[in-house]
Amino acid sequence: MVCACFGASSTKKEIRPSYISSEIDGYPLADVRPFSDKELRLATDNYHLSNKIGRGGFGTVYKGTLKDGRRVAVKTLSVGSKQGVREFLTEIKTLSTVKHPNLVKLIGFCIQAPNRALVYQYMENGSIYSALLGTKKTNIKLDWQKRSAICLDTAKGLAYLHEELVPHIVHRDIKASNVLLDRDFKPKIGDFGLAKLFPDDITHISTRIAGTSGYLAPEYALGGQLTKKADVFSFGVLILEIISGTSSARTNRTGSHKLFLEWAWELYEEGKLLELVDPDMKEYPEKEVTRYMKVALFCTQSAASRRPLMTQVVDMLSKEIQLNEKELTAPGFFMDAIQFSQKKSYPDSSISQIRDGHVSITMVNPR
Ligand SMILES: Nc1ncnc2c1ncn2[C@@H]1O[C@H](COP(=O)(O)OP(=O)(O)OP(=O)(O)O)[C@@H](O)[C@H]1O
Ligand SMILES: [Mg+2]
């Protein structure tokens, strides 16, 4: 029932457009329910700064506690969207049916002014980024057993979005801060389907293209093809980050100005892939870790058509399949303006670049 959700404790009769109740009532919303602005303010102590977890492209995330004691993450959506309530609810309905052990659960939403918000299950161990890659070194030690399980389970979540769900969802934003860790360090992918809540908003994506990401497939950075294979590329970068404990956005551990994937590919060609492994990981099975890194390189190949599907990635990670390395080709990636200017002062680079406005598309030259 909708009535319970808008100012339930208020004696004043709320005036709300009739379509909200009829639309919501018509939906089999499963466990996803509407929240009032008041309920969310109560849960987050009026969006108190001490409850702020972080800020992303769509808005700010706060931790909160619901009346029934459940911990939640409230994502306030500050990005302007011309999308109407009806369309917003249609997307929420779609998202409410998306369920998998490796996807963050959507608990509810708020459509009251001033901001729309999404309410998710709270993930106690933050994200892969905060656990492994951030500057604030946490004392979490992730051994190979945990890291490999994180890679494999994340692959399963993505395979579900790509290949089981009808219609399928291309995530568009696979990266370390969007893979969250529960109290047992089981990974769950967050922010899937978000793009569809902002059909008229390109700021989020265009900011990333102009700016920062080491996760963007070259064909996506060019502004064109957004397919499952762009997610596969990002997932490959993520595996390498998890194994190396290094963010793709930062200079690699050797202090050189090589781009992350360039560094990884060079080590592969020299037969020294294990040099990429996080020094914090003291013991690990070399053969298996090497296989994971090679799978990552299959995912980041320059040509989208050469990258595997996510179900194939799950197989490649979980079974001791002999990888056909003769088929493996060099990665492709793009540099942002800062990386590009740093690169220019390092003429020893084995990279050739095509400048296209603000975006530099880069291919590693095969030797
Ligand atoms: N359900 C959740 N539980 C715990 N932390 C979360 C949850 N959802 C998001 N976070 C964390 O909150 C912070 C902000 O998330 P947000 O999604 O807004 O930004 P982002 O992931 O950095 O970028 P993007 O907008 O591209 O997704 C991130 O550190 C993210 O890991
Ligand atoms: Mg996010």
Please report which ligand is nearest the Cα atom of 122.
1
> Are residues 283 and 135 located together in one domain of the fold?
yes
So what's the pLDDT on residue 85? 78
Pairing of strands 52-55, 33-34: unpaired
CATH of the domain at 283: 1.10.510.10
So what's the pLDDT on residue 80? 60
So what's the pLDDT on residue 17? 42
So what's the pLDDT on residue 203? 45
Which residues form the catalytic set? 173
Does residue 95 lie in a domain region? yes
When pLDDT is cut at 50, 70 and 90, the band that residue 167 belongs to is confident
So what's the pLDDT on residue 4? 32
Q: Residue holding tokens 């690699």?
A: 252
351 has which bridge partners?
A: 364
> Are residues 262 and 149 located together in one domain of the fold?
yes
In the chain, the percentage of residues whose pLDDT exceeds 70 is 72
So what's the pLDDT on residue 29? 61
So what's the pLDDT on residue 350? 36
Length of the chain: 367
Does residue 42 lie in a domain region? yes
Q: Per the annotation, does 75 bind a ligand?
A: yes
Instruction: Read off the pLDDT of residues 286-322 as tens digits, 9 standing for 90 and up.
Output: 999 999 999 999 999 999 999 999 999 999 999 988 8
When pLDDT is cut at 50, 70 and 90, the band that residue 251 belongs to is low
- Ligand 1 centroid to Cα of residue 54, in Å, is 6
> Are residues 94 and 187 located together in one domain of the fold?
no
> Are residues 153 and 30 located together in one domain of the fold?
no
Ramachandran category for residue 177: left, alpha or beta (phi over 0 → left; psi -120 to 50 → alpha): alpha
- Ligand 2 centroid to Cα of residue 283, in Å, is 31
Secondary structure class of 103 (helix, strand, coil): strand
CA angle 72, 61, 359 (to 5 degrees): 140
So what's the pLDDT on residue 364? 38
So what's the pLDDT on residue 334? 64
234 has pLDDT over 80: yes
CA distance 304 to 214: 16
> Are residues 33 and 167 located together in one domain of the fold?
no
> Are residues 134 and 117 located together in one domain of the fold?
no
Ramachandran category for residue 172: left, alpha or beta (phi over 0 → left; psi -120 to 50 → alpha): left
So what's the pLDDT on residue 50? 97
Mutation pick for ligand 1 pocket among 177, 189, 205 (CB with most ligand atoms within 8 Å): 177
Do residues 94 and 166 touch, judged by C-beta distance below 8 A?
Answer: no
DSSP string, 230-251: HHHHHHHHHHHHHHHT--TTSP
Pairing of strands 71-77, 187-189: unpaired
CA distance 63 to 49: 10
CA distance 118 to 349: 45
Instruction: Read off the pLDDT of residues 180-223 as tens digits, 9 standing for 90 and up.
Output: 999 999 999 998 887 666 554 444 444 444 334 678 888 777 76
CA atoms within 13 A on the CB side of 331: 33
Total domain count for the chain? 2
In the chain, the percentage of residues whose pLDDT exceeds 90 is 52
Phi and psi for 4 in degrees, rounded to 5?
A: -70, -10
Furthest-apart CA atoms within the chain: distance in Å? 74
Q: Name the amino acid, one letter, at 72.
A: V
Ion ligand 2: residues, CB within 5 A, are 56, 178, 191
When pLDDT is cut at 50, 70 and 90, the band that residue 6 belongs to is very low
CATH of the domain at 105: 3.30.200.20
So what's the pLDDT on residue 250? 76
When pLDDT is cut at 50, 70 and 90, the band that residue 226 belongs to is confident
pTM (predicted TM-score)? 0.84
Structure tokens at 215: 């996760």
Please report which ligand is nearest the Cα atom of 52.
1
CA atoms within 13 A on the CB side of 149: 12
CA distance 120 to 106: 5
In the predicted model, what is the mean pLDDT of residues 339-352?
Answer: 44
CA distance 48 to 71: 15
| Residue 70, C-beta contacts closer than 8 angstroms, at least 6 positions apart | 107, 121, 122
pLDDT, the chain, mean: 79
So what's the pLDDT on residue 79? 59
**Among the listed ranges 170-174, 206-210, 331-335, 346-350, which one has the minimum average pLDDT value?**
346-350
Instruction: Read off the pLDDT of residues 75-121 as tens digits, 9 standing for 90 and up.
Output: 998 756 566 777 778 888 888 888 999 999 999 999 886 778 999 99
State the residue range of the domain holding 79.
14-121
Using the 3D structure, point to which of 76, 95, 121 is the last residue of a domain: 121
Question: Which value, in Å, is the radius of gyration of the alpha carbons in the chain?
Answer: 22
In the predicted model, what is the mean pLDDT of residues 57-72?
Answer: 93
CA distance 93 to 103: 16
- Ligand 2 centroid to Cα of residue 191, in Å, is 5
> Are residues 139 and 73 located together in one domain of the fold?
no
Q: Whose CA is nearest to atom 4 of ligand 1?
A: 123
244 has pLDDT over 70: yes
When pLDDT is cut at 50, 70 and 90, the band that residue 19 belongs to is very low
240 has pLDDT over 60: yes
So what's the pLDDT on residue 89? 82
Helix, strand, coil shares of the chain as percentages rounded to 5?
A: 40, 15, 45
Instruction: State the closest ligand 1 atom to the C-alpha of 58, by its place in the atom list counted from 1.
Output: 25
So what's the pLDDT on residue 358? 34
Give residue ranges with CB within 6 A of ligand 1.
Answer: 53-58, 61, 73, 75, 104, 120, 122-123, 126-127, 130, 173, 177-178, 180, 190-191
> Are residues 116 and 138 located together in one domain of the fold?
no
Do residues 85 and 20 touch, judged by C-beta distance below 8 A?
Answer: yes
CA distance 179 to 166: 22
CA atoms within 13 A on the CB side of 28: 2
> Are residues 30 and 168 located together in one domain of the fold?
no
Does residue 191 lie in a domain region? yes
